A and B are shown apart, each in its own frame.
Chain A
Amino acid sequence: MNPVEIFTDVSTWISDKVFYAVPVFDTKMPLIVLWLVLAGAFFTVWLGFMQVRGPKLSIDLVRGKYSSPDDEGEVSHFQALATAVSGTVGLGNIAGVAVAISLGGPGATLWMIVAGLLGMATKMAECMMGVKYRREHPDGSVSGGPMYYLRDGLAERGMRPLGQVLAAFFALCMIGGAVGGGNMFQSNQATAQIIDVTGGESSFLADVPWVVGLVFAALAGAVILGGIKSIARVTEKVVPFMAVLYLAACLVVLVWNVTSVPAAVGEIIGGAFRPEGIAGGVVGALIVGFQRAAFSNEAGLGSASVAHSAVKTREPATEGFVAMLEPFIDTVVICTMTALTIIITGTWDDGDASKLGGVGLTSRSFETVLPWFPLVLALAVVLFAFSTMISWSYYGMKATGFLFGDNPVAENAFKVLFLCFTVIGSAAALEPVIEFSDSAIFLMSVPNLVGLYLMAGPVRAVIHGYFRRVRSGEVAQVGSRA
Chain B
Amino acid sequence: METVVVGVDNSDASTRAVEFAVERAQHNDWRVVLVHVIPWTPYSFQTPSENEHRHREKAREVAAATEQILAPMADIAERAGVSHEELVHHGKPSETITDVAAETGAVHIIVGRTGDGGLREAVFGSVASRLVQHAHLPVTVVP
* Chain A residues proximal to chain B, CB less than 8 Å: 64, 67, 72-80, 82-83, 86-87, 139-143, 223-224, 229, 232-233, 235-237, 239-240, 306-307, 310-312, 390-391, 394-395, 480-482
Contact = CB atoms under 8 A, between A and B. Distances in A.
A140 B51 contact: no
B91 A310 contact: no
B55 A74 contact: yes
Interface string B98-109: 010011000000
Contacts of A73: 38, 40, 54, 58, 61-62, 89-91
Interface string B80-93: 00000000011100
A279 B22 CA distance: 81
B45 interface: yes
What size tier do the contact residues of chain B reach?
Answer: 20 to 34
A307 B38 contact: no
A139 B52 contact: no
B49 interface: yes
B37 to A, nearest CB: 10
A87 B45 CA distance: 12
Contacts of B48: 83, 87, 306-307, 310, 390-391, 394-395
Interface in B1-55: 38, 40, 42-55
Nearest to B47: A232
Question: Closest 6 CB pairs between A and B?
Answer: A73-B90, A76-B42, A140-B55, A310-B51, A236-B45, A394-B48
Contacts of B59: 140
Contacts of A82: 44-46
Contacts, number: 96
Contacts of A240: 45
10 contacts: A73-B38, A73-B91, A75-B51, A75-B54, A77-B42, A79-B45, A142-B55, A240-B45, A312-B54, A390-B47
B96 interface: yes
A142 B52 contact: yes
B51 A64 contact: no
A79 B55 contact: no
A239 B44 CA distance: 12
B56 interface: yes
B58 A74 contact: yes
A213 B25 CA distance: 63
Contact of B56 (A76, A78, A140, A481): A140
B56 A139 contact: yes
A171 to B, nearest CB: 16
Contacts of A481: 91, 96, 99, 103
Nearest to A224: B49
Contacts of A139: 56
Nearest to B58: A73
A480 B99 contact: yes
Contacts of B43: 76, 78-79
Contacts of B90: 72-73
A78 B40 CA distance: 13
Contacts of B49: 224, 394
Given A80-B51, A141-B53, A229-B50, A67 B42 contact: yes
A481 B103 CA distance: 9
Given A78-B43, A307-B48, A394-B47, A482 B99 contact: yes
A72 B47 contact: no
- Which of B46, B89, B99 counts the most A-chain CB atoms under 10 A from its CB? B46
Contacts of B54: 73-75, 310, 312
Given A64-B42, A72-B89, A481-B91, A83 B56 contact: no
Contacts of A390: 47-48
A480 B59 CA distance: 22
B56 A141 contact: yes
A90 to B, nearest CB: 15
B92 to A, nearest CB: 10
Contacts of A311: 51
Contact of A310 (B40, B44, B52, B102): B52
A79 B42 contact: yes
Contacts of A142: 52, 55
